[in-house]
Chains A and B, each alone.
Chain A
Amino acid sequence: MIQCKTSKEIGGMGHSVKRKEDDRFVHGKGTYVDDIQLKGMLFMDIARSPYAYAKIKNINKDLAMAVDGVLAVITGKDLEQYNLHWMPTLMSDTQMVLPTDTVMHQGQEVAAIIATSREAARDGREALVPGIEYEVMKPIVDPFKALDDDAPLLRPDKEGQKDNQAWHWEVGQKEETEKIFAEADVVVKEQMHIPRIHVASIETCGIVADYDKVQNHLTTHLTTQAPHAIRTVIALVAGHVGLTEEKIRVIAHDIGGGFGGKVPVFPGYVIAIAATFLIGKPVKWIEDRSDNLTNSFARDYHITAEMAGTKDGKILASRMKVLADHGYTDGAANPSKFPTGMFSIGTGSYDYKHAFMEADAIYTNKPPGGVAYRCSFRVTEAVHAIERITDRFALEIGKDPAELRSENFIKKEDFPWQSPTGWEYDSGDYQAGLDLAMKTVEYDKLRVEQKAKWKEGKLMGIGLSTFTEIVGAGPSKDFDILGIKMFDSAEIRVHPTGKAIARFGTKSQGQGHETTYAQIIAEELGIPSKDIQIEEGDTDPAPYGLGTYASRSTPTAGAAAAIAARKLRDKAKKIAAYLLEVSEDDLEWEPGKWFVKGAPEKAKTIQELVFAAYTNHPQGMEGGFEATHYYDPPNLTFPSGAYICVVDIDPDTFEIKVRRFVAIDDAGHIINPMVAQGQVHGGLTQGIAPAMYEEIIYDEDGNALNGTLMDYLVPTAVESPNWETGHTVTPSPHHPIGAKGIGESPTVGAPPAIANAIIDALRPYGITHLDIPITPYKVFKALKEKGVLDKDITGFEA
């Protein structure tokens, strides 16, 4: 299926080139923030609130100052003197850096301790915590109670805020949709919770902030997926104390997992920057595991999903109503104009004309966040809702869920396709994906086996998810973060000897950019990918860009690389015409060289042409061989996938075993099949995580009950089934290399396939929905409630 235009030596697109970055990782030579050691460096730790909602009555700094090595204790009152106690979030909400009077969630930063060693800072924290006196108040934990009349107003600091609603959003055709629902033969409805989970990257957040008083220059070594955007944010927050943007350098070194959790600006970063600015020495802060797990989150959408259709299985309309629990501030990192991110992709892969969606965001006494965990801004939530309710609809009318999907798919020839919520899907061939998935898994045989298993009282289920993703944010007419348009950039410099360095505004956190970007340039320019050095993450040398998240790097920066390389190929053509003494029109390109049409022996290699650009270029031509491009995508890209999951549930212990998982992805043209497959494997594992294991649980007082990796189960190879992957290729028509982005599809597509499979296994017993994570205990409880466990699970006639 994948055809390569370049030789293996050139290693362009489609070659499974080994990852360049792996050499340093397998040799233990990666550089993470915590590896940075600077002369005279101080260490910071942060004392946090044990309560979810409380007034701070007193902070006795002396307790920490008495600890050997502690140099300073910084509180909200201290930052208030510099107007640094609040900061804007990326969603134009406001967040405390440190509180002056009220704490809003358990684990919130209350005071920072600066010391000469990490141990002393921790001792200072331990000493300080008992010296913080609180007046504990009753928190709002349940978002459904946040709008009650007797609920306390959580954000009186916000002007005009009269209740605990942050915002309301809606899209679609409200009246027409209501009419269809009122008249439809079949209407199905389920209440779903997509639980609060954590990206749980192995590396926590951290910073080394290094302010040089003499030069008035700040360098921050930072765990960030978006170094350039962060530089701008620091300048916006701290410009008034003299830190303007040209005086700020942000360096993101190797990152031990980002997944969206390292896009926001966290209070710890700002406090460390304030500390180095005031003290004039480098300050290191590395968040500990529990602090990391309990201070940000992804998801947490309560969704009422409905679908209307005909008895014979034609989908007519869908409706979704969301209650979004944002914690005490909207700390998401969506494009400004999209408070629910790309949730409006939730009409899925299906051809119907009417939909209505609305969302209400609610403040509660929980940590802020709503970050896009390996998902292009709330797409996981949307896909889960549409894929679950589609299955529910199939169940209601007694139609096979694969057949129902096939009958309702948007057809290959109907692209570009206008969705009822305003998107223009670029391309797709959903049936081809589903056909391949069904063939691979042997779907029909499985359904026969299932019927036999049910008769024996065995619990076996088959679940599908045929999703459409929406990635590559985004076109500048609609997409910005804090006003900055979401284009991205590439700058290529080819040295006289034909070797190159290319720099980008994005930042890999494991995606393999050092390999794949080089392959894109190799594809376009014919310089072997091994000869191209890729550099990202340092704002001083790299061109501006908005970073890596939302599967946007290939759709934006990857496109920029291709176009910049094409500019250079054009320049090479001019030089070739000059050297070969022919007209440009007489030249033909083959990866790695320009040659005269009909006379392939008259050729100049790209290396010769580059050398000439420095040594023997035509008069009047600019010397050197460099190009930069800032790519503004004309549209988003719409990857898709067809996933099928087969589960067996133990009728005694209710242990859920994923027997098979087939994932067919369509991400357009694939740059490196091996890297793409690695992305899919990781993403699928992060897909079983919320489906079966992960959820941050709070009690009624707002205590996080599973704030360690002992209690919060992150699946590893032990829990992972054997992933069977494959792909179909439907190129994006508007992307220069036809690529769509792959990083997030598996995380988005896997949870509903697993949930649908488990619920399919329980279908004989009247179970129509279970919220994720679906644990053995949840299955046991559901069967118990249906009275099934009073008798044995045996003999269901399908």
Chain B
Amino acid sequence: MENLEALMHGFDIALSGNHIFLMLIGVLLGILVGVLPGLGAPNGVSLLLPLTFGMQPVSAIILLSSMYWGALFGGSVTSILFNIPGEPSSVATTFDGYPMARDGRPTTALATAFGSAAFGALAGVVLITLSASWVAQVALAFGPPEYFAVYFLAFASFVGMGGSPPIKTLVSLAIGFALAAVGIDTVSGSVRLTMGIDELVKGVNFVVAVMGLFGIGELLIAVEDEFHVKAISSKVEWREVFRTLAGLPRYSWALLRSAAIGCWMGITPGGPTAASFMSYGIAKRLSPRRANFGKGEPEGIIAPETADHAAGTSALLPMLALGIPGSATAAVMMGGLMIWGLNPGPMLFIEQKDFVWGLIASMYLGNVVAVVLVLLTVPIFAALMRVPFFIIAPVIVIICTVGAYSVSNSYLDVMMMMGFGILGYLFKKLHYPLAPLVLAIVIGDKAEDAFRQSMLMSRGSLGIFFAKPLVTTLILLGAALLLMPVIWRTIGRMMPRTQARP
């Protein structure tokens, strides 16, 4: 009940004219970056970040999170109408969304996607409303060993459940940690890993990495394919929208299951992309209409969309309550929180009640705003897709360059952005995940500090991680997740052999 009261207070804050206006702007910008190839939620949010420094933190986070919702919706639009995923997390939506639209039912496909997306997001927000302050309460009792164990669990779940090759995930993660360590060590004050470049004392900023990895890298991937933008009618028939939305409850089992998968993957940082693929795969395996998948099956749209948005939303839960972002975009927002002078983690719920509950309330409103706005603007943004890629690409390159430069007015950052761009291209091409790298840059220092403080407490003995039940459980759970790929492979190898025997 206390939560409900706090939430009502949050609505008071979020429902001011100023904040509704920021929501509209944020959602529209979000749809724009979601639709454009090469710009996505992570770099869209990074680009807006410098512009929020003068704002109230709660206004700033409403703007940024609304942009996130907009981007999640925008990514689905291009997936369905053009078979071009605007966001990595909407790739799975192309499997059935595009065939349905191509067969003359674009409105049905869009409405199905937005309806289930809204349901997924709602599931995520409700989860946050109900459990965030409870999680924060538990986390208040955490000491450095517990924190390190939670970080360890978060990183392990990337490796075990992220869906990318585990060793590639590990390398990506470790590179992020190394980059986080560049510059002045906060504990000893000594300078680390600058490789003889004096300017690197300031460290590697996550915004620079995001601009390169997600901006330049994504563009290089996108340019490879020749775009054949076939004009599917992008007119929205409102009666069909309502009929489709009214028909959604028929798929309530699929909706609930996908929302659960999404929430789980969002909290344990598997991220929206992995969530949507996993949900699609499970839906296909369990559905009686399995043969229809890939040909425009509604459940094939519902499953990835619900999970995508549920994961995207619930990724903010660990960010707020523990200071561990559940996705790359959440990591960027958390970077923002730290720049605004807030300390993400359980103390937020005590010291910054207005901020936390204002944000949570704005998530309810922001998603409603996003559904309405995206339906209204589909034709406009669809027209944008007909602008040739060779015009869009230079514009995006220039925007990313300015974004990277403006972080600290440094040309070195622009050079690093190009380096990250090449790395991002190679990584994407070869199925190395990028989100762990960004996450590790943002919270690598904190994880390291937690480890070193634990070691100080125990005078150098690793035994501290096995001294209390909670820590031990978390560490063992993490270790189990790390070993998951190995276990799966062993089971996989044993299964055919046992079957082969008579």
Whether chains A and B associate is: no
Which positions in B face A, CB cutoff 8 Å?
A: none
Which positions in A face B, CB cutoff 8 Å?
A: none
